[in-house]
Amino acid sequence: MEKQIEPRLLKGFRDFLPQMELFRRQIMRKLEKIFRLFGFLPIDTPVLEYAEILLGKGGGETDKQVYRFHDHGQRDIALRYDLTVPFARFMAQHLNELALPFKRYHIGKVWRGENTQRGRYREFTQIDFDIVGVDSASADFEILLLMFRSMAALGIEKFKIHFFHRGLYNNLLKHIGLEKKSIDILRAIDKSKKIGKENVAGLLKECGCGDHIERILSFIQPGVNFNETLENITAQIGSDSQEITRLHDIQQCIADMGLDNFFLLDPAITRGLDYYTGIVYETFLTDIPQIGSVCSGGRYNNLASLYTRAKLPGVGSSIGLDRLIAALEELKLLKEITETISTPLLILFLDQNLLSYYHQLAAAFHERGIAAEVFPVKKKLSAQFNYAQKKSIPLALICGELEMEKGSVTIKDLRSRQSYENLILEQAIAKVTELSPG
Amino acid sequence: MEKQIEPRLLKGFRDFLPQMELFRRQIMRKLEKIFRLFGFLPIDTPVLEYAEILLGKGGGETDKQVYRFHDHGQRDIALRYDLTVPFARFMAQHLNELALPFKRYHIGKVWRGENTQRGRYREFTQIDFDIVGVDSASADFEILLLMFRSMAALGIEKFKIHFFHRGLYNNLLKHIGLEKKSIDILRAIDKSKKIGKENVAGLLKECGCGDHIERILSFIQPGVNFNETLENITAQIGSDSQEITRLHDIQQCIADMGLDNFFLLDPAITRGLDYYTGIVYETFLTDIPQIGSVCSGGRYNNLASLYTRAKLPGVGSSIGLDRLIAALEELKLLKEITETISTPLLILFLDQNLLSYYHQLAAAFHERGIAAEVFPVKKKLSAQFNYAQKKSIPLALICGELEMEKGSVTIKDLRSRQSYENLILEQAIAKVTELSPG
């Protein structure tokens, strides 16, 4: 006997069995449909790139987590750890081939050797969408609208997209003379939803904000609505700025589209990265806020500065598919997606002489776009019914030699155990259509 | 000025720009639709696995090409180089969770550090479909039928699926006392389409086939039809075997389905791998045979012997997406797929005050499932038309302040330059539907 290898996975990596993979594909398809409606087009980039390209500036927390190695030609290479860096490289490299403004989406796996104890995976899927080559309120709003439509398309009803403008912090910090510490201050504020106001005060103290802590904390306090929040802001830094105009324009679009209930101007949203320069946003699910943001992003004024001198402003957002699916599972929304996607009909295999006939019956259903499968071998009925049950197939087609000669079949509903006998093929197709879920 | 990094890709790796990525997704979707009609379900597995799992027996040509390295925890890991080995591991690991017979498809990238001089890529996409857990003519035929339907779904009209049975070689070689050299002999025969009969004779001589070369060459010569070919075979090794019965059953299904013209019993098909035990097949495109097989596979009697003692017979096939796309491009079939997938409508941005109104107009189209995009910033008309042309958007919606007040819009066909003025929204939607390609 051959020595056997234990079948196992690397820590932090997962297989997707059919049911879950069906969910995933269904979700990706629903999102793609939205992106395409808005004229966004898909791209793809390699999983492996030169480490120099992916790590660029380097030195960050991410670097240590990157899967990096030397290939057969001793090239220093790595697996992508997000879709943003490859996109920046892509834009720089193909600028002459693309129509600007460029609206793309990208769905792909990324890898980070993170600490799995925090329930993180080392292989996960991101869904990014961006508009590059223009700095406008229309583009900012379109990304927000896509985020709204994406959540709605997945059946999520209770959620809120929190947004703010990074430029307003710059104005505030300039006002109080703390602009040099802005990244540390913004990172502290970014944590406020997780660690609470008091702890943020502590962090601000560490940043050397001293006398200004109260002012900063009052700045990030949201009002009851857009106008009240904005008044609080403008009271501190003035209303005459392009940042304020931009927020007004966006809010106008939100209100005119009747989406006020789904958006919140929230000065506590900063996004940690120094990369963002304009509007920033995060999406929270009302019933499970603890899961964190399921869709976040913002405006940047220079996507690809590492690879090209061409200025590429843009705005975009990213959905973490794995976190989103965990959320849908918790909200009991995954089940709703499934029922329409199981095969409706199993054609039972009763007689070896009918092998070819069974496949012809199946073809008649396939021609109508109805999924139907032939049980692939003669076995006792209980085994075939058992298979149908395991695969959640609700209907069976029964046909023996006598029935074939008569040109009839029986359709059995495996849920109610009711049988419909002596159906000619057209009647059987009508019955299956009638009894199919979804 | 910051030092810049040259944006470039690793040799053998490619970006997919929107047009090509649209093709790829469209093709994958069409194939998935077929798989789902037949009750096949998707799975996914990690890109990274333990090297021990992926390389198993090891020592093959593939080993040298595998991307293999040590991770942060000093684990010996590798990127998958096909979808078969991960599938075998998957079946062994999840056997208790799956309904047998298990019908799955898997679409995913794989990596091999191949010599790129032969026009090969180092990152490519495979599409595998298998029926595991049963050894039957029905399952064999179903995979062949799926291959036929896949080609047909892509608009390929002229192709032939060549099939044979590996067991018949074993019978022949046992007959002539050469069974110990069977793998070398089968590999030599496998090359016959590429290198011609004479060179195969040379290889067979090297294998030590001596006096039997003529007999082997006569064995692999196809007749004018199924029956003649089979007569030639049975004349040499007898007709009373389960292999012959299996081929008859499969051929009966092919004939009853009216697909004779698309299948050919071809004794020169062996598939090199020792892994196959039953039916084997390859698919050739009539107009471009030189591109080689675009869809191949066969029956194996023990998928996961490396990882489990459970016997898992199965039958499956694999499509190389990249080669298939090259073929579709050469057959001028890619273009046909596109035209139905470009965005039909660009809403021009003429007036900053209408920002919100433009998005509401777009929403009215989106609600009808019609893709429409708002140009994201006010620019001169020529720039906006130029954008439409680059993105192959055939129609533009024109609306200024006066028209908004009247509640009307203009639709302009950018191909014929014809304008349709004073349309109310419902008329505009009807006009766009009428003028949209596909």
For residue B131, the cross-strand partners are B103, B315
DSSP H helices in A166-212? 166-175, 182-190, 192-206
Phi, psi of B121 (to 5 degrees): -100, 155
Does A8 fall in a domain?
no
- Residues of chain B numbered 51-80 and touching chain A (CB < 8 Å): 52-53, 56, 64-65, 67, 69-73, 75, 77, 79
Q: Which residues contact B10 (CB under 8 A, 6 or more apart)?
A: A46, A48, A49, A50, A71, A75, A77, B122
- Whether B328 and B348 share a structural domain: no
- Whether A370 and A406 share a structural domain: yes
Does A10 fall in a domain?
no
| Residues belonging to chain A | 438
DSSP B148-185: HHHHHHTT--SEEEEEEEHHHHHHHHHHTT-GGGHHHH
| pLDDT bucket at B341, cuts 50 / 70 / 90 | low
Instruction: Please report the ipTM that was assigned to this predicted complex.
Output: 0.93
Whether A106 contacts A149, CB under 8 Å? no
Residues of A in contact with B346 (CB under 8 A): 39
Query: What is the distance between the alpha carbons of residues B168 and B154, in angstroms, rounded to a whole number?
Result: 33
Q: Does the beta carbon of A43 lie under 8 angstroms from any beta carbon of chain B?
A: yes
Tokens of B53: 């799992």
Phi-psi region of A392 (alpha: psi -120 to 50; beta: other; left: phi over 0): left
- pTM assigned to the model: 0.93
Query: What is the distance between the alpha carbons of residues B309 and B92, in angstroms, rounded to a whole number?
Result: 9
Does B40 fall in a domain?
yes
Q: Please give the order of strands across the beta sheet that includes B102-111.
A: B41-42, B102-111, B123-132, B314-320, B295-300, B279-285, B159-165, B263-265
- Smallest Cβ–Cβ distance between A376 and the set B72, B94, B136 belongs to B136
Tokens of B124: 């490519």
- Whether B238 and B290 share a structural domain: yes
Domain boundary among A303, A336, A369: A336
Q: Which of B251, B252, B274, B277 lies closest to B264, judged by CA? A: B251
Statement: residue B163 has pLDDT above 90: yes
- Whether A332 and A388 share a structural domain: no
Does A4 fall in a domain?
no
- Whether A320 and A380 share a structural domain: no
Torsion of CA A93, B9, A29, A297, to 10 degrees: -60
Does A1 fall in a domain?
no
Quick one: pLDDT at residue A365?
96
DSSP A64-104: HHS-EEE-TT--EEEE-S-SHHHHHHHHHHHGGGSPSSEEE
Quick one: pLDDT at residue A370?
94
Statement: residue B372 has pLDDT above 60: yes
Residues of B in contact with A45 (CB under 8 A): 15-16
Whether B21 contacts A43, CB under 8 Å? yes
- Whether B110 and B235 share a structural domain: yes
Q: Which residues contact A329 (CB under 8 A, 6 or more apart)?
A: none
| pLDDT bucket at B164, cuts 50 / 70 / 90 | very high
DSSP 8-state secondary structure symbol assigned to residue A57: T
Provide the strand spans (E) within A351-435: 372-374, 395-398, 409-413, 419-423
Does B3 fall in a domain?
no
Interface contact flag, B307 A6, Cβ < 8 Å? yes
Interface contact flag, A5 B372, Cβ < 8 Å? no
CA distances from B194 to A108, A298, A413, B188, B324 (A): 37, 55, 53, 11, 19
Q: Give the domain CATH number at A143.
A: 3.30.930.10
Overall number of domains in chain A:
2
Interface contact flag, B359 A257, Cβ < 8 Å? yes
- Whether A206 and A314 share a structural domain: yes
Query: What is the distance between the alpha carbons of residues B379 and B385, in angstroms, rounded to a whole number?
Result: 10
The type of residue at A14 is R
Q: Give the domain CATH number at B429.
A: 3.40.50.800
Query: What is the distance between the alpha carbons of residues B361 and B373, in angstroms, rounded to a whole number?
Result: 10
Query: What is the distance between the alpha carbons of residues A209 and A202, in angstroms, rounded to a whole number?
Result: 10
Whether A117 contacts A144, CB under 8 Å? no
Q: What is the enclosing helix (H) or strand (E) of A161? A: strand A159-165
Q: What is the enclosing helix (H) or strand (E) of A37? A: helix A18-37
Q: How many CB pairs under 8 A join A and B?
A: 304
User: Is the link from the previous residue into B394 a cis peptide, with omega within 30 of 0?
Assistant: no
The neighbour count for residue A175, using CB atoms within 10 Å, is 14
Query: What is the distance between the alpha carbons of residues A415 and B19, in angstroms, rounded to a whole number?
Result: 46
Residues of A in contact with B357 (CB under 8 A): 256
Whether A41 contacts A104, CB under 8 Å? yes
Query: What is the distance between the alpha carbons of residues B362 and A149, in angstroms, rounded to a whole number?
Result: 13
For residue A397, the cross-strand partners are A347, A411
Please, what is the Cα angle at B218 between B214 and B222, to 5 degrees? Answer: 160
Q: Which residues contact A288 (CB under 8 A, 6 or more apart)?
A: A327, A330, A331
Interface test with A, best of B2, B5, B248, B385 (most A CBs within 10 A): B5
- Whether B76 and B45 share a structural domain: yes
Residue with the two structure tokens 């500065």? A305
- Residues of chain B numbered 180-209 and touching chain A (CB < 8 Å): none
Please, what is the Cα angle at A19 between A13 and A24, to 5 degrees? Answer: 65
Q: Which residues contact A121 (CB under 8 A, 6 or more apart)?
A: A12, A13, A14, A114, A322
Q: What is the enclosing helix (H) or strand (E) of B221? A: none
- Whether B179 and B125 share a structural domain: yes
Q: What is the pLDDT of residues B93-150, one digit of tens each?
A: 999 999 899 999 999 999 999 887 777 899 999 999 999 999 999 999 999 999 999 9
Quick one: pLDDT at residue B229?
93
Q: What is the pLDDT of residues B343-352, one digit of tens each?
A: 899 999 999 9
Domain boundary among A336, A369, A392: A336
- Whether B401 and B312 share a structural domain: no
Phi, psi of A395 (to 5 degrees): -125, 145
Whether A18 contacts B56, CB under 8 Å? no
For strands A76-79 and A68-70, give the pairing.
antiparallel
The shortest C-alpha distance from A366 to chain B (Å) reads: 6
Residue with the two structure tokens 């405006």? A299
Q: What is the pLDDT of residues B252-289, one digit of tens each?
A: 999 999 999 999 999 999 887 778 999 999 999 999 99
Quick one: pLDDT at residue B335?
75
CA distances from A35 to A41, A105, A320, B248 (A): 7, 7, 16, 50
Domain boundary among B336, B368, B393: B336
Query: What is the distance between the alpha carbons of residues A426 and B3, in angstroms, rounded to a whole number?
Result: 71
Query: What is the distance between the alpha carbons of residues B400 and B155, in angstroms, rounded to a whole number?
Result: 44
The domain of A208 spans 18-336
Tokens of B66: 């595998």
Does A9 fall in a domain?
no
Q: Does the beta carbon of A310 lie under 8 angstroms from any beta carbon of chain B?
A: no
- Whether A383 and A358 share a structural domain: yes
Whether B54 contacts B85, CB under 8 Å? yes
Tokens of B129: 């479909």
Does B6 fall in a domain?
no
Q: Does the beta carbon of B41 lie under 8 angstroms from any beta carbon of chain A?
A: yes
- Whether A406 and A311 share a structural domain: no
- Residues of chain A numbered 341-360 and touching chain B (CB < 8 Å): 341, 343, 346, 349, 355-360
Interface contact flag, A358 B138, Cβ < 8 Å? yes
Digitized pLDDT (tens) for each residue of chain A, 438 residues in all = 467 899 999 999 999 999 899 999 999 999 999 999 999 999 999 999 999 999 986 656 677 899 999 999 999 999 999 999 999 999 999 999 998 999 999 999 999 998 877 778 999 999 999 999 999 999 999 999 999 999 999 999 999 999 999 999 888 888 888 888 888 888 888 888 888 888 888 888 888 888 888 888 888 888 889 999 999 999 988 888 999 999 999 999 999 999 999 999 999 998 877 789 999 999 999 999 988 999 999 999 998 999 999 999 999 999 999 999 999 999 988 877 655 567 899 999 999 999 999 999 999 999 999 999 999 999 999 999 999 998 889 999 999 999 999 999 999 999 999 999 999 999 999 999 999 876
